[in-house]
Amino acid sequence: MSISLTTALSWPHPPFNFSRTQTDLISLKSISAYPRIAPLSFCFSSHISPELTDSISEESPKRGPLKPGLYLVGTPIGNLEDITLRALRVLKSAHLILSEDTRHSGKLLQYYNIRTPLLSYHKFNESQRELTVLKRLKQGEIVALISDAGMPGISDPGAELAKLCVDENIPVIPIPGPSALVAALSASGLATDEFTFVLAGTLGEAKEVFSGHQPKGEITLLIEGKLNHLVEPPSENQLENDLRDLISSGHSLSMAVKLVAEKTSVRRKTIYSLALRKLGKQLEVEDTSN
């Protein structure tokens, strides 16, 4: 049975309407699961008490301090209280928060009494911010990325930065948040008992996975055809010249690396390392001037 997500999302009047009593009950049950917070008084006002968020320790005795890396933090999609305790802990512990709109995100941080420095990061300046952010991440800092609403990188800035971090072996940690898609689907009344899951990888990897997990139902294999490889791989000088031409014409570093990789079939990680080695000073100058 197929599921029409379009129908769920375009439902003019979703058949649900939580009363305040139901919402309050759910909130209280959620909070009671955390011993450090449960004893605190909790009121349903338009502002969260600083005592509540201050009790969320930056270094939980059970979890320990956060590991350095890029944290993609899901934020509320309409109600400021739709945020997880884990997300609040990350935002409070981070050295820097990258925000699509600092004015918009500032309201969220003020609401939860979070004083972590904010830096704008949007589609108009992300290429200029990349080197600065990567440098801080390599120095062992914790950087959180948030969008105006929802999950960063999903129709919002963040995907390119995540790719660069993966290429540089910098940890990228997603912190899940509310999803309009799942919320609408859950309340749509549509059947949600059948989903299609895709296992990406080689046949050898699939064999290894299925050897320990017996598949059930139908299996469809999608096998990619033979890739076109160059007879002679491009030299470093050729790659460097291509990168310089693309960057000079206005492309960001990440986009230039992507285009050269598609053209030459050379791995992005290899090209990006070459760019930092050959064009590092030039890129830093451009980043500073912007």
User: In this structure, are 23 and 141 located in the same domain?
Assistant: yes
The answer for residues whose C-beta is within 8 angstroms of residue 252's C-beta and 6 or more apart is: 126, 127, 130, 160
Q: What is the mean pLDDT of residues 61-85?
A: 88
- Residue 273: name the closest of 123, 169, 133, 157 by CA: 169
Q: Total domain count for the chain?
A: 2
Give the range among 34-48, 79-93, 119-133 with minimum mean pLDDT.
34-48
Percentage of the chain surpassing pLDDT 70? 68
Secondary structure (DSSP) of 205-241: HHHHHHHHS---S------PPPP---SSPPPHHHHHH
Pick 34 or 224 by higher pLDDT. Answer: 224
Residue 253 has pLDDT above 60, yes or no: yes
Residues 114 and 256 both lie in one domain: no
Average pLDDT over residues 51-60: 52
Same domain for 246 and 179, yes or no, is no
User: Given pLDDT bands bounded at 50, 70 and 90, which one contains residue 211?
Assistant: confident
Q: What is the mean predicted confidence (pLDDT) over 93-99?
A: 96
Same domain, 48 and 161: yes
Q: Which domain holds residue 89?
A: 5-186
Give me the pLDDT at residue 4, please: 33
162 is a domain residue: yes
Q: Is the pLDDT of residue 254 over 50?
A: yes
Residue 245 lies in a domain: yes
Q: Is the pTM of this model over 0.75?
A: no
Position 207 in a domain: no
Q: Clarify whether residues 12 and 153 are in a common domain.
A: yes
| CATH number (domain holding residue 17) | 3.40.1010.10
